[in-house]
A and B are shown apart, each in its own frame.
Chain A
Protein backbone atom coordinates (compact mmCIF):
# COMPACT_ATOMS: atom_id res chain seq x y z
CA UNK A 1 0.00 0.00 0.00
CA UNK A 2 1.27 3.42 -0.86
CA UNK A 3 1.95 5.81 1.98
CA UNK A 4 -0.62 8.30 0.78
CA UNK A 5 -3.45 5.85 1.42
CA UNK A 6 -4.15 6.87 4.94
CA UNK A 7 -6.08 4.06 6.48
CA UNK A 8 -5.39 1.44 9.07
CA UNK A 9 -4.92 -2.15 8.00
CA UNK A 10 -3.82 -5.18 9.98
CA UNK A 11 -0.52 -6.86 9.05
CA UNK A 12 -0.87 -10.27 7.46
CA UNK A 13 2.61 -10.84 6.09
CA UNK A 14 5.37 -13.16 7.30
CA UNK A 15 7.07 -12.76 10.68
CA UNK A 16 10.72 -13.19 11.56
CA UNK A 17 11.94 -16.09 13.68
CA UNK A 18 11.34 -15.45 17.37
CA UNK A 19 14.56 -17.21 18.29
CA UNK A 20 16.79 -14.71 16.50
CA UNK A 21 14.64 -11.61 16.88
CA UNK A 22 16.85 -10.27 19.67
CA UNK A 23 19.51 -9.58 17.02
CA UNK A 24 17.40 -6.61 15.90
CA UNK A 25 18.63 -4.78 19.00
CA UNK A 26 22.40 -5.03 18.31
CA UNK A 27 21.80 -4.30 14.62
CA UNK A 28 20.13 -0.99 15.43
CA UNK A 29 22.59 -0.23 18.23
CA UNK A 30 25.65 -0.84 16.05
CA UNK A 31 24.18 1.19 13.18
CA UNK A 32 23.82 4.14 15.53
CA UNK A 33 27.29 3.69 17.00
CA UNK A 34 28.86 3.53 13.55
CA UNK A 35 27.14 6.81 12.67
CA UNK A 36 29.17 8.53 15.41
CA UNK A 37 32.39 9.65 13.73
CA UNK A 38 34.08 10.51 17.01
CA UNK A 39 33.42 7.05 18.36
CA UNK A 40 34.67 5.39 15.19
CA UNK A 41 37.79 7.52 15.32
CA UNK A 42 38.38 6.32 18.87
CA UNK A 43 37.87 2.68 17.86
CA UNK A 44 40.49 3.15 15.15
CA UNK A 45 42.82 4.78 17.70
CA UNK A 46 42.38 1.74 19.92
CA UNK A 47 44.08 -0.26 17.18
CA UNK A 48 47.26 1.89 17.15
CA UNK A 49 49.00 -0.19 19.85
CA UNK A 50 48.09 -3.28 17.86
CA UNK A 51 49.71 -1.83 14.74
CA UNK A 52 52.84 -0.97 16.71
CA UNK A 53 52.96 -4.48 18.16
CA UNK A 54 52.42 -6.01 14.74
CA UNK A 55 55.32 -3.91 13.43
CA UNK A 56 57.40 -5.12 16.38
CA UNK A 57 56.66 -8.74 15.52
CA UNK A 58 57.57 -8.18 11.90
CA UNK A 59 60.87 -6.52 12.76
CA UNK A 60 61.74 -9.25 15.26
CA UNK A 61 61.20 -11.87 12.60
CA UNK A 62 62.69 -10.12 9.58
CA UNK A 63 66.42 -9.76 9.11
CA UNK A 64 65.90 -7.34 6.24
CA UNK A 65 63.76 -5.07 8.38
CA UNK A 66 66.31 -5.14 11.19
CA UNK A 67 69.08 -4.32 8.74
CA UNK A 68 67.06 -1.45 7.36
CA UNK A 69 66.46 -0.11 10.85
CA UNK A 70 70.11 -0.84 11.75
CA UNK A 71 69.18 -3.05 14.67
CA UNK A 72 72.10 -5.30 15.48
CA UNK A 73 72.26 -8.49 17.52
CA UNK A 74 69.95 -11.44 17.76
CA UNK A 75 66.27 -10.71 17.79
CA UNK A 76 64.43 -11.09 21.06
CA UNK A 77 62.17 -14.09 20.62
CA UNK A 78 58.49 -13.27 21.00
CA UNK A 79 57.73 -14.38 24.51
CA UNK A 80 54.40 -15.05 26.20
CA UNK A 81 54.83 -11.84 28.20
CA UNK A 82 54.66 -9.85 24.95
CA UNK A 83 51.17 -11.14 24.19
CA UNK A 84 50.05 -10.69 27.80
CA UNK A 85 51.24 -7.07 27.69
CA UNK A 86 49.43 -6.56 24.38
CA UNK A 87 46.23 -7.88 25.94
CA UNK A 88 46.72 -5.57 28.93
CA UNK A 89 46.97 -2.55 26.61
CA UNK A 90 43.95 -3.56 24.62
CA UNK A 91 42.05 -4.38 27.82
CA UNK A 92 42.65 -0.85 29.11
CA UNK A 93 41.36 0.64 25.88
CA UNK A 94 38.36 -1.69 26.06
CA UNK A 95 37.56 -0.27 29.47
CA UNK A 96 37.59 3.29 28.12
CA UNK A 97 35.44 2.21 25.19
CA UNK A 98 32.94 0.59 27.56
CA UNK A 99 32.63 3.72 29.66
CA UNK A 100 31.75 5.56 26.46
CA UNK A 101 29.46 3.10 24.72
CA UNK A 102 27.55 1.30 27.50
CA UNK A 103 25.60 4.39 28.64
CA UNK A 104 24.81 5.25 25.01
CA UNK A 105 23.22 1.84 24.59
CA UNK A 106 20.98 1.72 27.63
CA UNK A 107 20.36 5.22 28.98
CA UNK A 108 18.22 6.53 26.08
CA UNK A 109 15.78 3.65 26.55
CA UNK A 110 15.40 4.30 30.25
CA UNK A 111 15.46 8.11 30.35
CA UNK A 112 12.35 8.43 28.19
CA UNK A 113 10.58 5.26 29.27
CA UNK A 114 11.03 3.26 26.06
CA UNK A 115 11.57 -0.01 27.92
CA UNK A 116 7.82 -0.77 28.27
CA UNK A 117 7.55 -0.51 24.49
CA UNK A 118 10.24 -3.17 24.02
CA UNK A 119 8.63 -5.41 26.60
CA UNK A 120 5.07 -4.97 25.34
CA UNK A 121 6.16 -6.95 22.31
CA UNK A 122 6.98 -10.68 22.18
CA UNK A 123 10.38 -9.78 23.54
CA UNK A 124 11.79 -10.60 26.98
CA UNK A 125 14.07 -8.72 29.34
CA UNK A 126 16.73 -11.37 28.78
CA UNK A 127 16.58 -10.80 25.04
CA UNK A 128 16.82 -7.05 25.57
CA UNK A 129 19.90 -7.47 27.74
CA UNK A 130 21.43 -10.00 25.37
CA UNK A 131 20.85 -7.67 22.41
CA UNK A 132 22.50 -4.70 24.10
CA UNK A 133 25.35 -6.87 25.41
CA UNK A 134 26.05 -8.24 21.93
CA UNK A 135 26.40 -4.74 20.53
CA UNK A 136 28.97 -3.89 23.18
CA UNK A 137 30.74 -7.24 22.95
CA UNK A 138 31.17 -6.86 19.20
CA UNK A 139 32.89 -3.50 19.65
CA UNK A 140 35.03 -4.71 22.53
CA UNK A 141 36.01 -7.83 20.59
CA UNK A 142 37.30 -5.59 17.82
CA UNK A 143 39.82 -4.04 20.19
CA UNK A 144 40.74 -7.06 22.36
CA UNK A 145 40.85 -10.66 21.23
CA UNK A 146 40.56 -9.97 17.49
CA UNK A 147 43.83 -7.95 17.38
CA UNK A 148 45.33 -10.29 20.00
CA UNK A 149 44.74 -13.37 17.88
CA UNK A 150 45.83 -11.49 14.77
CA UNK A 151 49.19 -10.78 16.46
CA UNK A 152 49.45 -14.44 17.37
CA UNK A 153 48.67 -15.48 13.80
CA UNK A 154 51.21 -13.00 12.45
CA UNK A 155 53.92 -14.30 14.77
CA UNK A 156 53.00 -17.90 13.98
CA UNK A 157 53.27 -17.13 10.28
CA UNK A 158 56.63 -15.42 10.54
CA UNK A 159 58.30 -17.65 13.14
CA UNK A 160 59.89 -21.02 12.60
CA UNK A 161 57.66 -23.99 12.19
CA UNK A 162 56.70 -25.46 15.51
CA UNK A 163 56.21 -22.07 17.19
CA UNK A 164 52.48 -22.26 16.70
CA UNK A 165 52.12 -25.56 18.52
CA UNK A 166 54.57 -24.72 21.27
CA UNK A 167 52.74 -21.44 22.00
CA UNK A 168 49.17 -22.52 21.47
CA UNK A 169 48.43 -21.65 25.08
CA UNK A 170 49.03 -17.98 24.20
CA UNK A 171 46.19 -18.02 21.68
CA UNK A 172 43.88 -19.74 24.08
CA UNK A 173 44.81 -17.38 26.94
CA UNK A 174 44.34 -14.32 24.72
CA UNK A 175 40.92 -15.47 23.57
CA UNK A 176 39.60 -16.62 26.94
CA UNK A 177 41.26 -13.83 28.92
CA UNK A 178 39.81 -11.18 26.61
CA UNK A 179 36.35 -12.69 26.76
CA UNK A 180 36.37 -12.77 30.55
CA UNK A 181 37.41 -9.13 30.67
CA UNK A 182 34.95 -7.86 28.08
CA UNK A 183 32.16 -9.84 29.72
CA UNK A 184 32.88 -8.19 33.07
CA UNK A 185 33.11 -4.78 31.40
CA UNK A 186 29.89 -5.29 29.48
CA UNK A 187 27.84 -6.36 32.46
CA UNK A 188 29.28 -3.66 34.69
CA UNK A 189 28.79 -0.98 32.04
CA UNK A 190 25.20 -1.98 31.33
CA UNK A 191 24.32 -2.34 35.02
CA UNK A 192 25.68 1.08 35.92
CA UNK A 193 24.02 2.68 32.91
CA UNK A 194 20.69 1.08 33.80
CA UNK A 195 20.86 2.37 37.35
CA UNK A 196 22.25 5.81 36.73
CA UNK A 197 20.50 6.61 33.41
CA UNK A 198 22.38 9.85 32.74
CA UNK A 199 25.09 9.11 30.23
CA UNK A 200 27.86 11.30 31.58
CA UNK A 201 27.26 10.31 35.17
CA UNK A 202 27.16 6.63 34.21
CA UNK A 203 30.50 6.95 32.37
CA UNK A 204 32.02 8.71 35.37
CA UNK A 205 30.63 6.06 37.70
CA UNK A 206 32.34 3.33 35.67
CA UNK A 207 35.66 5.12 36.07
CA UNK A 208 34.82 5.56 39.75
CA UNK A 209 34.19 1.85 40.25
CA UNK A 210 37.57 1.01 38.75
CA UNK A 211 39.71 3.71 40.30
CA UNK A 212 38.01 3.86 43.69
CA UNK A 213 38.00 0.07 43.86
CA UNK A 214 41.69 -0.06 42.99
CA UNK A 215 42.53 2.67 45.49
CA UNK A 216 40.49 0.96 48.20
CA UNK A 217 42.19 -2.38 47.55
CA UNK A 218 45.69 -0.91 47.65
CA UNK A 219 45.06 1.20 50.77
CA UNK A 220 43.62 -1.85 52.51
CA UNK A 221 46.68 -3.85 51.52
CA UNK A 222 49.14 -1.20 52.68
CA UNK A 223 47.44 -0.38 55.96
CA UNK A 224 46.29 -3.82 57.07
CA UNK A 225 49.06 -5.82 55.34
CA UNK A 226 46.26 -7.99 53.99
CA UNK A 227 45.70 -8.81 50.29
CA UNK A 228 41.94 -9.46 50.48
CA UNK A 229 41.01 -5.81 50.01
CA UNK A 230 42.23 -6.27 46.46
CA UNK A 231 39.00 -8.11 45.72
CA UNK A 232 37.60 -4.64 45.05
CA UNK A 233 40.39 -3.97 42.54
CA UNK A 234 39.00 -5.27 39.25
CA UNK A 235 42.07 -4.49 37.08
CA UNK A 236 44.16 -6.40 39.59
CA UNK A 237 41.78 -9.36 39.59
CA UNK A 238 41.81 -9.66 35.81
CA UNK A 239 45.60 -9.31 35.93
CA UNK A 240 45.84 -12.31 38.25
CA UNK A 241 43.53 -14.30 35.97
CA UNK A 242 45.55 -13.40 32.88
CA UNK A 243 48.80 -14.39 34.58
CA UNK A 244 47.16 -17.69 35.42
CA UNK A 245 45.90 -18.19 31.88
CA UNK A 246 49.17 -17.25 30.19
CA UNK A 247 51.16 -19.23 32.75
CA UNK A 248 53.55 -16.35 33.41
CA UNK A 249 56.05 -16.61 36.27
CA UNK A 250 56.24 -13.34 38.28
CA UNK A 251 59.45 -11.34 37.90
CA UNK A 252 61.72 -11.34 41.02
CA UNK A 253 60.56 -7.89 42.26
CA UNK A 254 56.93 -8.94 42.17
CA UNK A 255 57.73 -12.25 43.80
CA UNK A 256 59.47 -10.43 46.67
CA UNK A 257 56.46 -8.15 47.09
CA UNK A 258 54.15 -11.14 47.15
CA UNK A 259 56.25 -12.68 49.87
CA UNK A 260 56.08 -9.51 51.95
CA UNK A 261 52.36 -8.75 51.67
CA UNK A 262 50.89 -12.06 50.76
CA UNK A 263 48.88 -12.40 47.57
CA UNK A 264 45.35 -13.23 46.59
CA UNK A 265 45.06 -16.84 45.51
CA UNK A 266 44.16 -17.28 41.85
CA UNK A 267 40.83 -18.88 42.71
CA UNK A 268 39.89 -15.74 44.67
CA UNK A 269 40.50 -13.58 41.58
CA UNK A 270 38.30 -15.87 39.49
CA UNK A 271 35.65 -15.84 42.22
CA UNK A 272 35.89 -12.04 42.53
CA UNK A 273 35.22 -11.57 38.82
CA UNK A 274 32.42 -14.11 38.86
CA UNK A 275 30.83 -12.40 41.86
CA UNK A 276 31.05 -9.06 40.04
CA UNK A 277 29.21 -10.54 37.07
CA UNK A 278 26.52 -12.09 39.26
CA UNK A 279 26.07 -8.80 41.14
CA UNK A 280 25.73 -6.91 37.85
CA UNK A 281 23.13 -9.39 36.61
CA UNK A 282 21.21 -8.90 39.86
CA UNK A 283 21.35 -5.12 39.39
CA UNK A 284 20.12 -5.48 35.82
CA UNK A 285 17.33 -7.78 36.89
CA UNK A 286 16.18 -5.18 39.41
CA UNK A 287 16.34 -2.31 36.95
CA UNK A 288 15.32 -3.65 33.56
CA UNK A 289 11.61 -3.86 34.25
CA UNK A 290 8.73 -2.45 32.27
CA UNK A 291 7.24 -0.90 35.37
CA UNK A 292 8.58 -0.21 38.81
CA UNK A 293 6.38 -1.52 41.59
CA UNK A 294 6.11 0.86 44.52
CA UNK A 295 5.33 -1.06 47.67
Chain B
Protein backbone atom coordinates (compact mmCIF):
# COMPACT_ATOMS: atom_id res chain seq x y z
CA UNK B 1 0.00 0.00 0.00
CA UNK B 2 1.18 3.53 -0.58
CA UNK B 3 0.40 6.83 -2.23
CA UNK B 4 0.74 7.27 -5.99
CA UNK B 5 4.38 6.99 -7.03
CA UNK B 6 5.41 5.13 -3.87
CA UNK B 7 6.81 2.22 -5.89
CA UNK B 8 4.06 -0.37 -5.51
CA UNK B 9 3.85 -1.32 -9.18
CA UNK B 10 7.62 -1.08 -9.51
CA UNK B 11 7.96 -3.62 -6.71
CA UNK B 12 5.58 -6.02 -8.47
CA UNK B 13 7.35 -5.49 -11.79
CA UNK B 14 10.66 -6.23 -10.12
CA UNK B 15 9.32 -9.39 -8.51
CA UNK B 16 8.14 -10.50 -11.96
CA UNK B 17 11.57 -9.82 -13.44
CA UNK B 18 10.40 -6.93 -15.63
CA UNK B 19 12.92 -4.64 -13.97
CA UNK B 20 16.35 -5.79 -12.84
CA UNK B 21 16.87 -4.90 -9.17
CA UNK B 22 19.63 -2.33 -8.69
CA UNK B 23 20.65 -3.96 -5.43
CA UNK B 24 19.39 -6.28 -2.72
CA UNK B 25 17.74 -9.64 -2.94
CA UNK B 26 14.22 -11.02 -2.92
CA UNK B 27 12.91 -14.55 -2.86
CA UNK B 28 9.53 -16.00 -3.71
CA UNK B 29 8.83 -19.53 -2.51
CA UNK B 30 12.56 -19.73 -1.77
CA UNK B 31 13.59 -18.91 -5.34
CA UNK B 32 15.63 -15.82 -6.08
CA UNK B 33 13.78 -13.36 -8.29
CA UNK B 34 16.70 -13.38 -10.72
CA UNK B 35 15.36 -16.77 -11.80
CA UNK B 36 12.29 -15.04 -13.13
CA UNK B 37 11.27 -17.69 -15.64
CA UNK B 38 11.19 -20.44 -13.04
CA UNK B 39 9.24 -18.22 -10.66
CA UNK B 40 6.64 -17.13 -13.16
CA UNK B 41 5.45 -20.72 -13.35
CA UNK B 42 3.80 -20.15 -9.97
CA UNK B 43 2.58 -16.61 -10.49
CA UNK B 44 -0.61 -15.09 -11.82
CA UNK B 45 -0.43 -11.41 -12.63
CA UNK B 46 -3.18 -8.87 -13.03
CA UNK B 47 -1.69 -5.57 -14.20
CA UNK B 48 -3.02 -2.17 -13.27
CA UNK B 49 -3.35 -0.90 -16.82
CA UNK B 50 -5.35 -2.28 -19.73
CA UNK B 51 -3.97 -5.63 -20.81
CA UNK B 52 -5.92 -7.56 -23.42
CA UNK B 53 -6.06 -8.39 -27.11
CA UNK B 54 -9.12 -6.53 -28.29
CA UNK B 55 -10.10 -8.68 -31.27
CA UNK B 56 -10.00 -11.95 -29.30
CA UNK B 57 -13.00 -13.38 -27.53
CA UNK B 58 -12.66 -13.51 -23.77
CA UNK B 59 -12.43 -17.28 -23.52
CA UNK B 60 -9.94 -17.55 -26.38
CA UNK B 61 -7.73 -14.91 -24.79
CA UNK B 62 -7.70 -16.65 -21.42
CA UNK B 63 -7.08 -20.01 -23.05
CA UNK B 64 -4.17 -18.51 -25.00
CA UNK B 65 -2.66 -17.11 -21.81
CA UNK B 66 -3.16 -20.41 -20.00
CA UNK B 67 -1.40 -22.28 -22.81
CA UNK B 68 1.50 -19.84 -22.61
CA UNK B 69 1.68 -20.66 -18.91
CA UNK B 70 2.15 -24.29 -19.86
CA UNK B 71 -1.30 -25.87 -19.86
CA UNK B 72 -2.05 -28.26 -22.72
CA UNK B 73 -4.77 -26.96 -25.12
CA UNK B 74 -7.71 -28.94 -23.73
CA UNK B 75 -7.19 -28.25 -20.02
CA UNK B 76 -6.46 -24.63 -20.96
CA UNK B 77 -9.82 -24.35 -22.69
CA UNK B 78 -11.61 -26.02 -19.81
CA UNK B 79 -10.02 -23.76 -17.24
CA UNK B 80 -10.62 -20.67 -19.37
CA UNK B 81 -14.35 -21.44 -19.28
CA UNK B 82 -14.20 -22.11 -15.55
CA UNK B 83 -12.28 -18.92 -14.86
CA UNK B 84 -14.84 -16.88 -16.78
CA UNK B 85 -17.73 -18.40 -14.88
CA UNK B 86 -15.86 -17.98 -11.64
CA UNK B 87 -15.35 -14.24 -12.12
CA UNK B 88 -18.96 -13.87 -13.25
CA UNK B 89 -18.41 -13.28 -16.95
CA UNK B 90 -19.67 -16.65 -18.10
CA UNK B 91 -22.31 -15.21 -20.38
CA UNK B 92 -19.89 -12.75 -21.97
CA UNK B 93 -17.04 -15.17 -22.61
CA UNK B 94 -17.55 -15.38 -26.37
CA UNK B 95 -17.68 -11.62 -26.81
CA UNK B 96 -14.63 -9.78 -28.09
CA UNK B 97 -12.60 -8.22 -25.29
CA UNK B 98 -12.63 -4.86 -27.04
CA UNK B 99 -16.39 -4.66 -26.45
CA UNK B 100 -16.14 -5.23 -22.68
CA UNK B 101 -16.85 -2.47 -20.17
CA UNK B 102 -14.08 -1.35 -17.84
CA UNK B 103 -15.37 -3.54 -15.03
CA UNK B 104 -15.60 -6.56 -17.31
CA UNK B 105 -12.05 -5.98 -18.51
CA UNK B 106 -10.87 -5.96 -14.89
CA UNK B 107 -12.63 -9.28 -14.30
CA UNK B 108 -11.21 -10.71 -17.54
CA UNK B 109 -7.75 -9.71 -16.33
CA UNK B 110 -8.43 -11.59 -13.11
CA UNK B 111 -9.63 -14.61 -15.11
CA UNK B 112 -6.40 -14.78 -17.11
CA UNK B 113 -4.40 -14.43 -13.91
CA UNK B 114 -6.04 -17.42 -12.22
CA UNK B 115 -6.77 -19.71 -15.20
CA UNK B 116 -3.45 -21.56 -14.99
CA UNK B 117 -3.84 -22.14 -11.23
CA UNK B 118 -0.94 -20.15 -9.82
CA UNK B 119 0.20 -20.31 -6.19
CA UNK B 120 0.83 -16.59 -5.97
CA UNK B 121 -1.49 -13.98 -7.36
CA UNK B 122 -0.10 -10.48 -7.93
CA UNK B 123 -2.93 -7.98 -8.25
CA UNK B 124 -2.02 -4.44 -9.14
CA UNK B 125 -4.86 -2.05 -8.22
CA UNK B 126 -7.54 -4.70 -8.82
CA UNK B 127 -10.51 -2.44 -8.11
CA UNK B 128 -9.43 0.43 -10.35
CA UNK B 129 -12.36 1.93 -12.19
CA UNK B 130 -14.97 -0.44 -10.75
CA UNK B 131 -18.41 0.71 -9.64
CA UNK B 132 -19.45 -0.27 -6.08
CA UNK B 133 -21.18 -3.59 -6.95
CA UNK B 134 -18.29 -4.63 -9.20
CA UNK B 135 -15.82 -3.63 -6.53
CA UNK B 136 -17.67 -5.72 -3.97
CA UNK B 137 -17.58 -8.64 -6.33
CA UNK B 138 -13.87 -8.25 -6.93
CA UNK B 139 -13.19 -8.03 -3.18
CA UNK B 140 -15.28 -11.15 -2.57
CA UNK B 141 -13.42 -13.06 -5.27
CA UNK B 142 -10.05 -12.04 -3.89
CA UNK B 143 -11.07 -13.14 -0.41
CA UNK B 144 -12.32 -16.47 -1.73
CA UNK B 145 -9.12 -17.11 -3.66
CA UNK B 146 -7.08 -16.16 -0.60
CA UNK B 147 -8.84 -18.83 1.41
CA UNK B 148 -7.67 -21.63 -0.92
CA UNK B 149 -4.98 -23.68 0.76
CA UNK B 150 -1.48 -22.92 -0.43
CA UNK B 151 -2.61 -19.82 -2.28
CA UNK B 152 -1.07 -16.42 -1.66
CA UNK B 153 -2.35 -13.08 -2.84
CA UNK B 154 -0.29 -9.91 -3.03
CA UNK B 155 -2.30 -6.78 -3.70
CA UNK B 156 -0.95 -3.40 -4.59
CA UNK B 157 -3.39 -0.61 -3.90
CA UNK B 158 -3.73 2.91 -2.64
CA UNK B 159 -7.33 2.25 -1.56
CA UNK B 160 -7.29 1.65 2.18
CA UNK B 161 -10.66 -0.01 2.27
CA UNK B 162 -9.71 -2.59 -0.34
CA UNK B 163 -6.57 -3.48 1.55
CA UNK B 164 -8.40 -3.62 4.85
CA UNK B 165 -11.01 -5.97 3.46
CA UNK B 166 -8.67 -8.35 1.68
CA UNK B 167 -5.31 -8.41 3.40
CA UNK B 168 -3.80 -9.90 6.51
CA UNK B 169 -0.55 -7.98 6.39
CA UNK B 170 0.20 -4.53 5.04
CA UNK B 171 3.44 -3.04 3.86
CA UNK B 172 3.20 0.71 3.45
CA UNK B 173 5.59 2.18 0.90
CA UNK B 174 6.69 5.75 0.50
CA UNK B 175 9.19 7.02 -2.06
CA UNK B 176 10.33 3.50 -2.81
CA UNK B 177 10.99 2.62 0.82
CA UNK B 178 9.11 0.71 3.48
CA UNK B 179 7.39 3.33 5.64
CA UNK B 180 5.47 0.94 7.89
CA UNK B 181 4.50 -2.66 8.33
CA UNK B 182 1.27 -3.76 9.94
CA UNK B 183 -0.05 -7.20 10.69
CA UNK B 184 -3.74 -6.48 10.35
CA UNK B 185 -4.72 -9.83 11.78
CA UNK B 186 -2.63 -9.22 14.90
CA UNK B 187 -4.07 -5.71 15.17
CA UNK B 188 -7.55 -7.14 15.00
CA UNK B 189 -6.76 -9.71 17.66
CA UNK B 190 -5.09 -7.23 20.05
CA UNK B 191 -7.97 -4.78 19.79
CA UNK B 192 -10.65 -7.39 20.27
CA UNK B 193 -11.47 -6.13 23.78
CA UNK B 194 -12.34 -2.60 22.67
CA UNK B 195 -16.05 -2.66 21.96
CA UNK B 196 -18.35 0.03 20.68
CA UNK B 197 -22.13 -0.44 21.15
CA UNK B 198 -25.12 1.43 19.88
CA UNK B 199 -28.07 0.83 22.21
CA UNK B 200 -31.70 1.85 22.65
CA UNK B 201 -33.42 1.98 26.07
CA UNK B 202 -30.31 2.15 28.20
CA UNK B 203 -31.23 2.42 31.87
CA UNK B 204 -29.05 3.30 34.87
CA UNK B 205 -29.41 -0.30 36.06
CA UNK B 206 -27.90 -1.56 32.75
CA UNK B 207 -25.04 0.94 33.13
CA UNK B 208 -24.32 -0.29 36.63
CA UNK B 209 -24.57 -3.93 35.56
CA UNK B 210 -22.07 -3.39 32.74
CA UNK B 211 -19.69 -1.64 35.10
CA UNK B 212 -20.24 -4.52 37.48
CA UNK B 213 -18.64 -6.84 34.92
CA UNK B 214 -15.42 -4.93 35.46
CA UNK B 215 -15.62 -3.00 32.19
CA UNK B 216 -14.22 0.46 31.74
CA UNK B 217 -16.97 2.25 29.88
CA UNK B 218 -18.24 5.59 28.67
CA UNK B 219 -21.77 6.48 27.59
CA UNK B 220 -22.57 9.06 24.90
CA UNK B 221 -26.32 9.78 24.62
CA UNK B 222 -27.35 11.42 21.33
CA UNK B 223 -30.70 12.71 22.56
CA UNK B 224 -32.82 10.56 20.24
CA UNK B 225 -33.05 7.56 22.51
CA UNK B 226 -29.92 6.02 21.04
CA UNK B 227 -26.77 5.81 23.07
CA UNK B 228 -23.24 5.03 22.07
CA UNK B 229 -21.31 2.97 24.60
CA UNK B 230 -17.55 2.49 24.42
CA UNK B 231 -16.09 -0.13 26.72
CA UNK B 232 -13.06 -2.28 27.36
CA UNK B 233 -13.92 -5.84 28.27
CA UNK B 234 -11.77 -7.55 30.87
CA UNK B 235 -9.96 -10.71 29.70
CA UNK B 236 -12.23 -12.89 31.81
CA UNK B 237 -15.48 -11.50 30.43
CA UNK B 238 -17.03 -12.84 27.27
CA UNK B 239 -19.17 -10.97 24.79
CA UNK B 240 -22.10 -13.23 25.67
CA UNK B 241 -22.29 -11.47 29.08
CA UNK B 242 -23.16 -8.18 27.40
CA UNK B 243 -26.02 -9.78 25.50
CA UNK B 244 -27.29 -11.43 28.70
CA UNK B 245 -27.30 -8.09 30.57
CA UNK B 246 -29.01 -6.32 27.68
CA UNK B 247 -31.77 -8.96 27.66
CA UNK B 248 -32.15 -8.74 31.43
CA UNK B 249 -32.53 -4.92 31.35
CA UNK B 250 -34.62 -4.84 28.21
CA UNK B 251 -31.96 -2.93 26.24
CA UNK B 252 -31.67 -3.29 22.47
CA UNK B 253 -28.18 -3.59 21.04
CA UNK B 254 -28.48 -2.09 17.58
CA UNK B 255 -24.84 -2.22 16.55
CA UNK B 256 -21.61 -3.69 17.86
CA UNK B 257 -18.09 -2.85 16.60
CA UNK B 258 -14.61 -3.77 17.61
CA UNK B 259 -12.93 -0.42 17.82
CA UNK B 260 -9.33 -0.49 16.72
CA UNK B 261 -6.78 1.69 15.04
CA UNK B 262 -8.03 1.93 11.50
CA UNK B 263 -5.71 1.31 8.59
CA UNK B 264 -6.17 4.95 7.77
CA UNK B 265 -4.61 5.90 11.12
CA UNK B 266 -1.68 3.55 10.48
CA UNK B 267 -1.27 4.86 6.95
CA UNK B 268 -1.37 8.52 7.92
CA UNK B 269 1.08 7.94 10.75
CA UNK B 270 3.44 6.20 8.33
CA UNK B 271 3.23 9.08 5.87
CA UNK B 272 4.09 11.59 8.61
CA UNK B 273 7.03 9.62 9.95
CA UNK B 274 10.51 10.93 9.01
CA UNK B 275 10.31 10.53 5.25
CA UNK B 276 9.71 6.81 5.29
CA UNK B 277 13.09 5.71 6.58
CA UNK B 278 11.83 2.61 8.30
CA UNK B 279 13.39 0.28 5.78
CA UNK B 280 14.65 -0.09 2.27
CA UNK B 281 13.13 -1.94 -0.58
Contact = CB atoms under 8 A, between A and B. Distances in A.
Interface of A: 1, 3-16, 18, 21, 24-25, 28, 32, 108-109, 111-114, 116-124, 289-291, 293
B28 interface: no
Contact of A16 (B45, B65, B72, B144): B72
Contact of B68 (A8, A10, A118): A118
A121 B50 contact: no
A137 to B, nearest CB: 20
B81 A3 contact: yes
Contacts of A122: 37-38, 40-41, 69-70
B196 interface: no
A15 B98 CA distance: 30
Contact of B18 (A5, A16, A109, A290): A290
Contact of A291 (B13, B50, B54, B69): B13
A111 B119 CA distance: 29
Nearest to B90: A3
A112 B114 CA distance: 20
Given A11-B75, A117-B112, A120-B16, A18 B70 contact: yes
- 3 tightest A-B CB contacts, nearest first: A11-B117, A120-B45, A15-B70
5 contacts: A24-B68, A108-B54, A112-B51, A112-B52, A121-B40
B255 to A, nearest CB: 33
Interface of B: 13, 16, 18-19, 37-38, 40-41, 43-45, 47, 49-55, 64-65, 67-72, 75, 78-79, 81-82, 85-86, 90, 98, 112, 114, 116-119, 122, 144-145, 148, 150-151
Contacts of A32: 55
B43 A120 contact: yes
Main secondary structure of the interface of A (DSSP, over half): loop
B37 A21 contact: no
Contacts of A119: 16, 18
A5 B118 CA distance: 19
A4 B85 contact: yes
Contacts of A118: 65, 68
Contact of B50 (A10, A14, A112): A112
A21 B68 CA distance: 7
B82 A3 contact: yes
Nearest to A8: B145
Contacts of B117: 9-12
A250 to B, nearest CB: 48
B86 A6 contact: yes
Contacts of A124: 37
Given A8-B114, A121-B69, A123-B37, 13 more contacts: A1-B78, A1-B82, A3-B81, A12-B117, A15-B71, A16-B67, A112-B51, A112-B53, A117-B112, A118-B65, A123-B40, A290-B13, A290-B16
Nearest to B86: A6
A122 B16 CA distance: 10
Contact of B151 (A10, A28, A112): A10
A119 B114 CA distance: 15
Residue among A3, A8, A112 with max Cβ neighbours from chain B (10 Å): A8
A13 B74 CA distance: 11
Contact of B19 (A112, A117, A123, A293): A293
